[in-house]
């Protein structure tokens, strides 16, 4: 059974205006998405700013009221607060944020930042708590001398690792990581991602990994969805997406990944230009008359794409 099942999730925000502050339209932040996250696996949500990724993450953890649809956790409905409470959901699902400087309380020492979720959910003695916090810091490569420092005393990469340690302190089954390395230099990104992967293996955690960067997600995700205007334009396994992309939007995001091989840069530049040209001339066919992304068509057991009817062909 999947750990998480998302069924036709919609989150629409009302836009109000005028003297009576009436609702005159909606932002379709999330407009009917379906996906599953398997135990111990990483599911990627990829898309440009404003495509609805964060809203999905916040809906799953319960920070956002959903408009319609269903969120199942271990087969149980956790779409409402009451349902989440009944299954210890708040302990089992944690989140890592992009900006660790604003998400970690600046007035608290690292010890308390990491101990806080533990205190909410587990009754540990002082000695047990100390032992556990030390163990968690060690898991992300930080030491005992760091215990009583404040967040500002660390580098961005170290702070993200502290965020990871805090998130896993309650032994969660799912961690939602919303652009966890987007604010970091490339070299530091790899280091934080490596810790996340090691921890995943060690504790069998599932990640929902949110990113605007297909390059970053490549080594992290087992399956993924490409998001655009509140919908999925394409979803599949890593191999489906990276080796057999079908939607022009996915192709364009892939072409935007910089090529690290110097001798292939010219080819890469040409390829990118070609993809942009196709995108410009073809893109209107990929939306309905209201500018919404077309319904997904399943093209293999794992791979679905929002293709125009006349382009659907098996793999």
Of 162, 169, 158, nearest in space to 116 by CA:
169
Least distance to Mg ion, CB of residue 50, Å: 8
Distance, CA of 57 to CA of 213 (rounded, Å): 17
Q: Is 180 in the site for ligand ADP (CB under 6 A)?
A: no
Whichever of 13 and 121 has its CB closer to ligand ADP, that residue is 13
Site for ligand ADP in 4-23 (CB under 6 A): 13
HSE of 244 in the Cβ direction (CA atoms, 13 Å)? Answer: 15
SS3 content of the chain, % helix, strand, coil (to 5): 40, 25, 35
| CA dihedral sign, ordered 41, 232, 11, 256 | positive
- Gap between the Cα atoms of 270 and 274, Å rounded: 6
Candidates 43-51, 242-250, 274-282, 304-312; binding stretch for ligand ADP (CB under 6 A)? 43-51
CA end-to-end span of the chain: 27
Residue of the chain from 42, 51, 100, 169 that contacts ligand ADP (CB under 6 A): 51
Q: Does 250 bind Mg ion (CB under 5 A)?
A: no
CA distances from 305 to 170, 206, 297, 299 (A): 37, 24, 5, 7
Residue 51 binds which of Mg ion, ligand ADP, none (CB < 5-8 A, kind-dependent): ligand ADP
Does 160 interact with Mg ion (rule: CB under 5 A)?
A: no
Residue among 4, 9, 31, 53 that touches ligand ADP (CB under 6 A): 53
Query: Would you count residue 49 as binding ligand ADP (CB under 6 A)?
Result: yes
Q: Is 240 helix (H, G, I), strand (E, B) or coil?
A: helix
For the bound state, the minimum distance from the C-beta of residue 143 to ligand ADP, rounded and expressed in Å, comes to 34
Identity of the residue, 50 or 308, whose beta carbon is nearer to Mg ion in the bound complex: 50
The minimum distance between CB 209 and ligand ADP, in angstroms, equals 13
Question: Applying CB under 6 A, which of residues 4, 9, 33, 47 lies at the interface with ligand ADP?
Answer: 47
Scanning residues 43 to 72, which ones bind Mg ion (CB under 5 A)?
A: 54
Nearer to Mg ion, 10 or 91 (CB): 10
Q: Which of 7, 27, 36, 252 binds ligand ADP (CB under 6 A)?
A: 27
Q: Which one of 46-54, 100-108, 253-261, 280-288 is the stretch in contact with ligand ADP (CB under 6 A)?
A: 46-54
| Closest of 266, 168, 219 to residue 44, by C-alpha | 219
Instruction: Assess contact for 140 and 157: CB atoms under 8 A.
Output: no
How many other CB atoms are found less than 10 A from the CB of residue 137? 20
47 binds, among ligand ADP, Mg ion, none (CB under 5 to 8 A by kind): ligand ADP
Please state, in angstroms and rounded to a whole number, the distance separating the CA atoms of residues 245 and 106: 43
Q: Which residues bind ligand ADP (CB under 6 A)?
A: 13, 27, 29, 47, 49-55
């Amino acid at each position: 059974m999947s750990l998480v099942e998302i069924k036709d999730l919609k989150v629409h925000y009302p836009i109000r205006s005028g003297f009576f502050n009436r609702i005159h339209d909606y932002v379709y932040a999330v407009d009917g998405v379906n996906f599953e996250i398997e135990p111990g696996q990483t599911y990627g949500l990829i898309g440009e700013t404003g495509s609805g990724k964060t809203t999905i993450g916040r809906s799953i953890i319960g920070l956002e009221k959903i408009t319609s649809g269903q969120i199942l956790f271990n087969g149980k409905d956790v779409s409402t607060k009451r349902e989440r409470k009944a299954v210890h959901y708040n302990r089992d699902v944690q989140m890592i944020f992009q900006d660790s400087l604003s998400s970690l309380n600046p007035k608290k020492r690292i010890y308390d930042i990491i101990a806080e979720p533990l205190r909410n959910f587990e009754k540990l003695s002082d000695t047990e708590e100390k032992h556990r916090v030390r163990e968690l810091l060690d898991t992300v490569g930080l030491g005992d001398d760091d215990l009583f420092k404040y967040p500002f005393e660390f580098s961005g990469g170290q702070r993200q690792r502290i965020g990871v340690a805090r998130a896993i302190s309650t032994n969660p089954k799912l961690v939602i990581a919303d652009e966890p390395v987007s604010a970091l230099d490339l070299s530091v990104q790899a280091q934080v991602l490596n810790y996340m992967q090691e921890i995943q293996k060690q504790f069998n955690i599932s990640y929902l990994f949110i990113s605007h960067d297909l390059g970053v997600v490549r080594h992290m995700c087992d399956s993924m969805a490409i998001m655009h205007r509140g919908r999925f334009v394409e979803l599949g396994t890593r191999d489906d997406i990276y080796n057999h992309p079908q939607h022009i939007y996915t192709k364009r995001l892939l072409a935007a990944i910089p090529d690290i091989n110097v001798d292939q840069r010219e080819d890469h530049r040409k390829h990118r230009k070609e993809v942009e040209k196709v995108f410009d001339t073809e893109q209107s066919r990929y939306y309905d008359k209201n500018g919404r992304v077309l319904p997904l068509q399943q093209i293999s057991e794992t791979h679905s794409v929002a293709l125009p009817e006349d382009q659907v062909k098996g793999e």
